[in-house]
């Protein structure tokens, strides 16, 4: 409300100032004909000025701002996978009843051509990303997620996060899983019904993170080959992944 009043006052002040200037012009030159000629000319140019400023220039500025936001979000994504995402995928793979299907498909990502990323992405809907909470040590996953809570919270504070819906969905799913695990006092002795519930939460995080990881890797391969090289060597779906270059 205060901001609206400020705009009204500013508009009124500018109108009064314009009127005063026109009065001074008339008082000095006594030429109303000249005043109205330029006034009509200014009004005639006003729609063109709105077109140039509001539609063309504003659109160009917004497009540039959108590109900058997109690049900043890619940096946030890179931080997420370096700090949490890759290690999380490696742990989630332990809860997969059929991990060989994923490792066989994703472990050679370093050798993929650009078009293969989209081809594999289209196959994800046909794959099963169900996780079984009873297949691995869920206490270890709980410890890992708790150790990354502060970092994940810092990502939520990023003002550009809402521009990246996919990453937002992953963070919400991860936070929910973290809260579910922290709320349980005796994780090693959970009943089957509770393990089934946690399996659904694991599956949600697993599916969302794999899908986004492919998009992230495709972006690195296209824009930042040196970053892609390291990310491919640390591929979470590669059992013997290492940053060392041995060839």
Is the distance from CB of 123 to CB of 211 less than 8 angstroms? no
Q: Which of 96, 81, 115, 130 is nearest to 235 (CA)?
A: 81
Residue 87: what pLDDT? 93
Tell whether the model's pLDDT for residue 236 goes beyond 60: yes
Is the distance from CB of 2 to CB of 9 less than 8 angstroms? no
Residue 57: what pLDDT? 66
118 and 202 assigned to the same domain: yes
Is the distance from CB of 170 to CB of 198 less than 8 angstroms? no
User: Which tens digit of pLDDT belongs to each residue from 168-214?
Assistant: 899 999 999 999 998 887 777 788 898 899 999 999 999 999 999 99
Give a yes or no: residue 242 inside a domain. Answer: no
What is the rounded CA–CA span in Å between residue 176 and residue 18?
Answer: 58
Give a yes or no: residue 153 inside a domain. Answer: yes
50 and 80 assigned to the same domain: no
| Averaged pLDDT score across all residues of the chain | 83
218 and 118 assigned to the same domain: yes
Residue 20: what pLDDT? 80
- Its domain, for residue 46, covers 2-60
Mean pLDDT of 1-21: 74
**More confident of the two residues 171 and 39:** 171
Give a yes or no: residue 209 inside a domain. Answer: yes
What is the rounded CA–CA span in Å between residue 118 and residue 91?
Answer: 25
Lowest-confidence pick of 119-123, 163-167, 203-207, 230-234 = 163-167
User: Which tens digit of pLDDT belongs to each residue from 71-128?
Assistant: 777 788 888 898 999 999 999 999 999 888 888 888 888 888 878 888 888 888 788 8
45 and 130 assigned to the same domain: no
pTM: 0.72
What is the rounded CA–CA span in Å between residue 179 and residue 152?
Answer: 13
Lowest-confidence pick of 17-21, 159-163, 231-235 = 159-163
What is the rounded CA–CA span in Å between residue 99 and residue 125?
Answer: 16
Residue 101: what pLDDT? 87
**More confident of the two residues 68 and 133:** 133
51 and 77 assigned to the same domain: no
Domain count, the chain: 2
For the record, the structure tokens of 24 come out as 């001074």
53 and 78 assigned to the same domain: no
110 and 141 assigned to the same domain: yes
Give a yes or no: residue 240 inside a domain. Answer: no
Quickly list DSSP for 66-80: HHHHHHHHHHHHHHH
222 and 159 assigned to the same domain: yes
Tell whether the model's pLDDT for residue 47 goes beyond 80: no
119 and 143 assigned to the same domain: yes
14 and 118 assigned to the same domain: no
Residue 145: what pLDDT? 93
Give a yes or no: residue 152 inside a domain. Answer: yes
When pLDDT is cut at 50, 70 and 90, the band that residue 60 belongs to is: low
Is the distance from CB of 102 to CB of 247 less than 8 angstroms? no
User: Of 12, 35, 60, which marks where a domain is finished?
Assistant: 60
Q: Phi, psi at residue 191, to the nearest 5°?
A: -70, 160
Q: Phi, psi at residue 200, to the nearest 5°?
A: -65, -40
Residue 116: what pLDDT? 86
84 and 183 assigned to the same domain: yes
Residue 173: what pLDDT? 94
79 and 169 assigned to the same domain: yes
User: Of 11, 31, 60, which marks where a domain is finished?
Assistant: 60
User: Which tens digit of pLDDT belongs to each residue from 132-157?
Assistant: 999 988 889 999 999 999 998 888 88
């Amino acid at each position: 409300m205060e901001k609206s009043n400020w705009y009204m006052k500013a508009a009124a002040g500018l109108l009064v100032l314009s009127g005063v200037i026109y009065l001074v012009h008339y008082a000095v030159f006594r030429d109303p004909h000249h005043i109205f000629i330029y006034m009509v000319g200014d009004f005639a140019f006003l729609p063109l000025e709105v077109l140039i400023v509001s539609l063309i220039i504003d659109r160009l500025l917004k497009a540039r701002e959108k590109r900058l936001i997109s690049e900043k979000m890619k940096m946030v994504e890179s931080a997420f996978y370096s700090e949490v995402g890759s290690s999380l995928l490696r742990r989630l793979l332990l809860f997969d009843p059929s991990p060989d299907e994923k490792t066989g498909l994703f472990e050679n990502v370093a050798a993929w051509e650009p078009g293969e990323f989209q081809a594999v992405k289209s196959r994800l809907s046909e794959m099963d990303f169900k996780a079984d909470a009873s297949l691995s040590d869920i206490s270890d996953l709980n410890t890992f997620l708790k150790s990354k809570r502060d970092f994940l919270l810092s990502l939520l504070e990023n003002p550009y996060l809402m521009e990246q819906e996919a990453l937002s969905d992953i963070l919400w799913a991860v936070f929910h899983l973290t809260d579910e695990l922290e709320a349980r006092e005796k994780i090693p002795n959970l009943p089957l019904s509770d393990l089934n519930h946690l399996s659904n939460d694991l599956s949600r995080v697993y599916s969302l993170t794999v899908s986004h990881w492919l998009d992230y890797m495709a972006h690195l391969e296209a824009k930042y080959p040196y970053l892609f090289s390291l990310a491919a060597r640390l591929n979470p779906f590669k059992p013997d992944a290492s940053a060392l270059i041995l060839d």
